[in-house]
Amino acid sequence: MARKQTTPFNLDAFLTRAGNGNTSLTVPKKRTIYSQGEAADAVFYLQTGKVKLTVVSQHGKEAVIAILERGAFLGEPCLVGQMVRAETATAVEDAGLVRIDKEAMIRLLRTERKFTEFFLTYLLTHTIRIQEDLVDQLFNSSEKRLARVLLLMAHFGKEGKPETVIAKISQETLAEMIGTTRSRVSFFMNKFRKLGFIEYNGKLRSDSSDSSDSSDSGMRIHSSLLNVVLHD
């Protein structure tokens, strides 16, 4: 007896017809989606673009905790009692999102089985990624951490074909993501390029530079960069 094939769950289509509580948003590059300390009253689903999550300490030090891509959820801790945002979400590039009110999100999780299964799978995958990030931060050198971040951005190790060309990202952002200095990032990026692990034209831009610079066209990541991560 032939096994019945199930249709993959299309979250984008589902959210367009999910009813009240959903709002489609377009957030320009560098605009804030929500800020640390604001009321946590909605979950966001990222349909297009990229979003940076940052936190600022009591002493004013900022750290990048994640770069999110299409298919990610933002602000989901509000579902388990978080009253204020613990981080700031900023569009790294023009982003399309769906804002789902907290009450609407809870209703969907209670009544829509396929959506619930999709969301739980996302949360479990996200939890695994956080654990891997913690192990990476605790036990690996800054060189390995940088290589891993670049490989993750190029989707090496994920289902489907890697995106070997990724958008340029500033030295400051990379340094904040892996917990090191910009000078160390610059040193390792130059080393990776000389070894043929990565390719990019010109210099890596700083956060304050003009984003229209021709050197911001992208960076090519080669699978040989895996040697840095796997090397003991």
In this prediction, the residues of the chain whose per-residue pLDDT falls under 70 are 1-7, 18-19, 157-161, 202-217, 231-232
Which domain CATH number covers 37? 2.60.120.10
Q: Are residues 80 and 163 in the same domain?
A: no
Token couple for 225: 């960069």
The helix (H) or strand (E) run that includes residue 98 is: strand 95-101
The parent domain of residue 87 ranges over: 11-136
- Whose CA is closest to 61, among 209, 206, 216, 176? 176
Residue type, 161: K
Residue 3 lies in a domain: no
Give the pLDDT score at 196.
Answer: 93
The per-residue pLDDT for range 55-66, each reduced to its tens digit, is 999 988 888 999
Task: Check: pTM over 0.75? Answer yes or no.
Answer: yes
Helix (H, G, I), strand (E, B) or coil at 47: strand
Q: Are residues 196 and 167 in the same domain?
A: yes
Q: Are 231 and 195 in contact (CB under 8 A)?
A: no
Distance CA 46, CA 69 (A): 7
Total count of domains within the chain: 2
